[in-house]
Amino acid sequence: MDVYYNAGFGCIVCPQTTVGNTPMRVVIEPVAVLRKGFTETALGEAILAALERSRTAPPVPRVDMGAGRFWQVTGIRGFGAFSGQFQCIDLRERGPILEAFKLIRESDGGYVWPENQPPLEIPADTPAAQMGAEILSLFSPGLEIPANETLSFETIHGGIISYRRPSDAFADCGDGHTDAYQVFTLEDAPRSHIAFLIDSGYQELSKAAVLEKWQEQYGPLSAFRFQRRRKPPMLASMQGKTAKAEIASQVYRDGEGTMEVLCLIEQALSPEAREAMRAEYQAVIRSIAVKERREGGSEGLVVK
């Protein structure tokens, strides 16, 4: 079973069972939700009840695997966004002992067991209040990633880009296994994304060069606009539309090269969702600051 914790929300206590005849485990719903201000006794009682449900629950068919969305009790739609906000403790029974592991969040939004870290061992007959206190001791207050926090990365040209993280509706995909510094995908429509790209990839920064590449990459464009910008470090902004998506992009000077911030919004999204994503992209653009590396190793701050 698992226990999820966020200092501003509280705890979610999740009993588990297996999938068919496999060792894979899934959460049994409904889960127990303990709101902020809960007591150690209440947490311990919820854990003991979840352990009992986990012991007696029958396996679920493989076809039901992945059907649950227990994290949505928090109001967060996607698991990647949820895991960025909640720490996780995994509890396993080993005879008369409970082994508690503090799991580690990966950049793709999943949790993994820590390497070379012994578990906290708790006797299974521990009273509820003490059980709750032991589990709470494993959580780190304030460790959750706040929504809309300021993030940063170093470019290949030695610059530092800082920006406002998109909201919890977006999953942090790291580099997305692409030639990108950072990619955020919309949880409910992963093809819609905001990406910070390594250089722009255009033969030259002109209307003709950008139009040619966009048509090659996205297909025929029903609309396209290119504007040069005279507000360093921004060099140009572009907008386009195809039958399947609308695309917006800003290109920034980055030392001897460029850095592009691109947004792709699927036309299949509802009008409200498209408008919300446009607003998210504009908020990211307004927040961008570029710290350029000067000769001699010193850095100067250029704010867009």
Tens-digit pLDDT profile for residues 257-302: 889 999 999 999 998 889 989 999 998 998 999 887 655 443 433 3
Confidence (pLDDT) at 299? 41
Tokens standing for residue 257: 């090269």
Name the pairing type of β-strands 87-94 and 97-102.
antiparallel
Name the pairing type of β-strands 223-231 and 189-198.
unpaired
SS3 195: strand
Phi and psi (nearest 5°) for 62?
Answer: -60, -30
Phi-psi region of 176 (alpha: psi -120 to 50; beta: other; left: phi over 0): left
**pLDDT digits 0-9 by tens, 162-175:** 998 888 788 888 88
DSSP state, residue 174? T
Provide the residue type at 239 as one letter.
Q
Identify the helix (H) or strand (E) that includes residue 89.
strand 87-94
Going by pLDDT thresholds of 50, 70 and 90, the confidence category of residue 144 is low
**pLDDT digits 0-9 by tens, 63-111:** 555 567 898 888 877 787 788 788 999 999 999 999 999 998 876 678 8
| Alpha helix (H) residue ranges in the chain | 40-56, 79-85, 128-136, 207-218, 271-287
- Residue 145: pLDDT over 80: no
SS (H, E, C) 11-48: EEEECEEEECCCCCEEECCCCEEEECCCCHHHHHHHHH
Q: Is 167 exposed, middle or buried (0-12, 13-18, 19+ CB in 10 A)?
A: middle
Question: What is the pLDDT averaged over residues 26-34?
Answer: 92
Question: What is the pLDDT averaged over residues 145-149?
Answer: 56
Going by pLDDT thresholds of 50, 70 and 90, the confidence category of residue 209 is very high
Q: Treating both helix axes as pointing N-terminal to C-terminal, what angle do 40-56 and 128-136 enclose, rounded to 10 degrees?
A: 100
In the chain, the largest separation of any two C-alpha atoms, in whole Å, equals: 72
The set of residues, in sequence order, having a beta carbon less than 8 Å from that of 226 and lying 6+ positions away, is 206, 207, 210, 211, 236, 237, 238
- Residue 208: pLDDT over 60: yes
Going by pLDDT thresholds of 50, 70 and 90, the confidence category of residue 221 is very high
**pLDDT digits 0-9 by tens, 233-257:** 889 999 999 999 999 999 998 888 8
Contact indicator for 214, 247 with CB cutoff of 8 Å: yes
Confidence (pLDDT) at 12? 96
Contact indicator for 290, 300 with CB cutoff of 8 Å: no
Name the pairing type of β-strands 104-105 and 97-102.
unpaired
